[in-house]
Amino acid sequence: MYIIAIGWAYVILMMAITSSSLAKALAILIFLGVLPILIFTYAVGGRKRPSMPVADEVANQGDRADTQSD
């Protein structure tokens, strides 16, 4: 997953370096570089996030049941 983001960042960085003005370079970096990479990493990494809190909650439910004394 990260190799795609790194490759995309490299291509966009080269595009920004070869642009004719500083304003155009910054616009390229932000709109073609930073925003798509953030969206991509959120979308691809987001599939792992919901399963972790559920697993922690299930693991903690067993501990709560053992805290009561007989």
* pLDDT of the residue at 59: 61
pLDDT, tens digit, 9 for 90 and up, residues 30-70: 999 999 999 988 888 766 655 555 556 666 665 555 566 66
Report the pLDDT value the prediction gives residue 58, as an integer from 0 to 100: 60
pLDDT at 69: 65
Query: Quick one: pLDDT at residue 63?
Result: 57
13, 32 contact by CB (below 8 A): no
Task: State the pTM of this model.
Answer: 0.61
Q: What's the pLDDT at 41?
A: 87
CA–CA separation, 13 vs 24, rounded Å? 12
